[in-house]
Amino acid sequence: MTSIDVLADRARTLLALHRPGTPVILPTVWDAWSAKLAVDAGFTALTVGSHPVADSIGKTDNEGMSYADLLTRVAQITDAVDVPISVDIESGYGESPQRLVSGLLDVGAVGLNIEDTVHGDGGRLRSSTEHAEFVRALRAAADEAKVHIVINARTDLFLRQDGDDADRVDRAIARLTEAADAGADCLYPVGRHDPDTVKRLTDALSLPVNVIALPGVDDPATFGPLGVGRISFGPFLQAALAEKATELLGRWR
């Protein structure tokens, strides 16, 4: 088990990488192989995506796997690479904040994504206050463990197309601002946004903003001028590799 001092240092390193305008790119990985691939390509921190992990073990996204399933895979990743690791913990798998934090630290992870869709409760959307309170509880648990786990607070308003289009950006800003005030370090309005929307979000929010990118399509240079602080790939790196593998295998059918 990695010492608390080492984990605390890795968490500080991960947090320092988040610089709006000079975004950290955290390739989204799902197993030891993909993690080593990314580190060998020169990346110094990674995020573990729930969707690609679930696909890799034959289960479904949206908490079709258990927290134990996820931690088993994260432990394999942290054994294989020596860089800070953040983990998508979906909406928390019904676990307490203390258990979520202790589980991540036990397997050597120092960051997390927490979303506001509660998959174990009919897929309902947490209220902004409820989501902020969950973030606050995660921060308190991390403080108690003496590791500043990097909390990436996610909202699914755009992904769900929740409510009226006209004020969705404003509602997302309000929701993420509450999460920031509760102790988040990064804010994740997950979805594919046009540049004007991204700029509006980064201008209005006080913390680094995470955007999702298509690794084979998007231009990495376009995100910095929009004020983005963090880029990840969600399931799209795995999907791009799957498309290439399907092409290669198709030659042999």
> pLDDT by residue (tens digit) across 218-252?
999 999 999 999 999 999 999 999 999 999 999 99
10 Å CB burial of residue 54 (0-12, 13-18, 19+) is buried
How would DSSP label each residue in 52-82?
HHHHHTT--TTTSS-HHHHHHHHHHHHHH--
- Express the helix, strand and coil content of the chain in percent, nearest 5 each: 50, 15, 35
Question: In the structure encoding, which two tokens stand for residue 199, read together?
Answer: 């700029």
Torsion angle (degrees, nearest 10) of CA 34, 35, 36, 37: 50
Tell which residue, 113, 135, 114, has the closest CA to residue 180. Answer: 135
C-alpha to C-alpha distance for 29 and 45, rounded to whole angstroms: 11
Rounded to the nearest integer, the mean pLDDT of the chain is 97
Tell which residue, 119, 112, 118, has the closest CA to residue 130. Answer: 118
C-alpha to C-alpha distance for 60 and 49, rounded to whole angstroms: 12
The secondary structure element, H or E, covering residue 163 is none
Q: What is the pLDDT of residues 101-130, one digit of tens each?
A: 999 999 999 999 999 999 999 999 999 999
Domain count, the chain: 1
Question: In the structure encoding, which two tokens stand for residue 174, read together?
Answer: 């309000």
Q: What is the pLDDT of residues 190-216, one digit of tens each?
A: 999 999 999 999 999 999 999 999 999
Q: Please say if the pLDDT value at position 1 is more than 80.
A: no
15 is in which domain, residue-wise?
4-250
> Is beta strand 85-88 parallel, antiparallel or unpaired with respect to 111-114?
parallel
> Where would I find the beta strands (DSSP E) of 45-148?
46-48, 85-88, 111-114, 117-118, 124-125
Span 8-27, average pLDDT: 98
Position 2 scores a pLDDT of 87
CATH of the domain at 157: 3.20.20.60
Position 109 scores a pLDDT of 98
C-alpha to C-alpha distance for 37 and 41, rounded to whole angstroms: 6
